[in-house]
Amino acid sequence: MKQSLSLRMSQHLALTPQLQQSIRLLQLSTLELSAEVEQMLDENPFLERTAEESLAEEFGLPEADTRVSLGDRVTEASTESGSDTRDSGNDNSSEASVAKDEAVQDVAESWEGDGSVDMTPDDSEWGNDAGSRKTASNDSDAPDAVELARGLGSFTEFLHRQALSLRLSEVDRAALRYLIESLNDDGYLEDSLQSLAENLAGTEDLEQLEELVHRFTMALSLLQSLEPVGVGARHLAECLSLQIKAQLEDAPDDRVWQAALKICAQPLELLAKRDVKRLLVLCGEDDVTIKLAIAQIARLEPKPARPFANAEQHVIIPDVLVINTRPNGEPRFKVQLNPDVMPRLRVHDIYANALRGGKSEAHQGLQQRLQEARWFIKNIQQRFDTILRVSTAIVERQKNFFVHGELAMRPLVLREIADELGLHESTISRVTTAKYMTTPMGTFELKYFFGSGLGTDSGSAASSTAVRALIRQLVAAESPAKPLSDNQLSEMLKEQGIDCARRTVAKYREALKIAPANLRKTL
């Protein structure tokens, strides 16, 4: 083989650390972004909060400015009548050459626009009854949901406090403490006492193993005597039985609770299916007593630790606010970022000025940290700009939903918003994941406004969200004695011009957590 030299020119895409950070910040939720900001504030000395936010936090004062500012830019988009928000001519594509794909190019672009667009909904198809709807006002004195959740304390702490009031030996107290720490998030003891003992003592010393099992058995009875009733159960039937026995302590002759205890001793599939006929035979009770017992069991708590769940993990903080600026007239909607989620950051002026003119290696390292702080602020600004643009486009497309509800939802896919804003579909997907919008109709994830379309007789498409809402209405209006089957629901939808197959109806019904027709009849 003959060796030779050749010269070739080629292009390839690279992903800079700044763009990697932009993509990562874009897909973070609000709580994750808050944690990221706190971490960056701890690690980078050039980054600090602005004085306004620092003073407000120090003295516990409410924020005076309802708009969101980061640096000198106000990121609020008013949807009053005016110019369109889609100003793609000012996109800065200086980083496009190092983008990995079109989604990276979207992140690298910056948007400059006043963000005003007419959001007057089209009521030609639905009628104009907007005057009856009003936006909910924010009560500044209302308690914070996170603080209420924290006030309950953790589930294990609550059990440990009760255990301290019991007069136990050190060995029994340690066994009870070990069982409490072994409970799952629902308050159940998933592991058997034998396996818990083997984890501590192993399997070689049988005498010690038996002693541990005995201690755990005694500790389990103590654990199941604590509040909330049902804690320490090994399975659902035992959890329900513990709660029923607590009721029988106050009324030992109550036939209904006695029947409920017998039902829990049977396979739970019979209870789930409301199989009254088989329960009559197995429990030896009459029809009325069995039905009353089933109703009582339905009121019990299947998850004893539910009130102590970490509600902070489930708190939804909206990123975008949709406000009706004309509650008493023809509705117009204003889209703006939530002021409470925007971090107010800036570069520390004193530290930045101290680096000017320095050329040593130490100064170069600090200059890099200074540049990281500037990029972090810019990337956060870019994140909220993109969220605002996408949210404004969604409100413009789904404006009838904000007046009339789910039945007015229109089909919408990611590509439509991506083409309108000049972004990539993957960017829209990142923006709409774990981001929430508070509207006059409630709080929804941005992905909620996207849905496929079903064909209609008129040739247009009906949103899958609207079809699900229609199915919910039809089921709510059905006769309890003769519930509608999936076939009947499909035919009723076809009568209204919506082509929806039976299997599609079944899929939507299951998504709505609606039981099949046979179970709805029993219920």
CATH number, domain with residue 491: 1.10.10.60
Q: Using an 8 Å Cβ cutoff, are 436 and 316 in contact?
A: yes
Q: Is residue 503 part of a domain?
A: yes
Has residue 260 got a pLDDT over 80? yes
Is there a single domain that holds both residue 308 and residue 325? no
Is there a single domain that holds both residue 299 and residue 378? no
Number of domains in the chain: 3
Most distant pair of Cα atoms in the chain: their distance: 102
Is there a single domain that holds both residue 419 and residue 331? yes
Of the residues 299, 314, 329, which one is the last residue of a structural domain?
Answer: 314
Of the residues 262, 297, 314, which one is the last residue of a structural domain?
Answer: 314
Is there a single domain that holds both residue 117 and residue 246? no
Has residue 188 got a pLDDT over 60? yes
Is there a single domain that holds both residue 169 and residue 306? yes
Is there a single domain that holds both residue 309 and residue 326? no
pTM (2 decimals)? 0.61
User: Taking the alpha carbons of 185, 191, 196, 198 in that order, is the dihedral positive or negative?
Assistant: negative
Using CA atoms, how far residue 213 sits from 53, 172, 179, 188, in Å, is: 56, 12, 12, 18
Is there a single domain that holds both residue 150 and residue 291? yes
Provide the pairing of β-strand 461-463 with 76-77.
unpaired
**Structural domain span for residue 463:** 452-522
Burial class (CB in 10 A: 0-12, 13-18, 19+), 130: buried
- What confidence tier does 13 reach under pLDDT thresholds 50, 70, 90? low
Between 329 and 104, whose confidence is greater? Answer: 329
Is there a single domain that holds both residue 232 and residue 159? yes
Per-residue pLDDT averaged across 238-244, rounded? 95
Contacts of 451 (CB under 8 A, 6+ apart): 409, 411, 412, 463, 464, 465
Is there a single domain that holds both residue 350 and residue 481? no
Is there a single domain that holds both residue 296 and residue 328? no
Is there a single domain that holds both residue 287 and residue 188? yes
Query: For all residues of the chain together, what is the average pLDDT?
Result: 78
Of the residues 287, 314, 341, which one is the last residue of a structural domain?
Answer: 314
Q: Is residue 257 part of a domain?
A: yes
Is there a single domain that holds both residue 347 and residue 280? no
Q: Is residue 129 part of a domain?
A: no
- What confidence tier does 302 reach under pLDDT thresholds 50, 70, 90? very high
Q: Is residue 4 part of a domain?
A: no
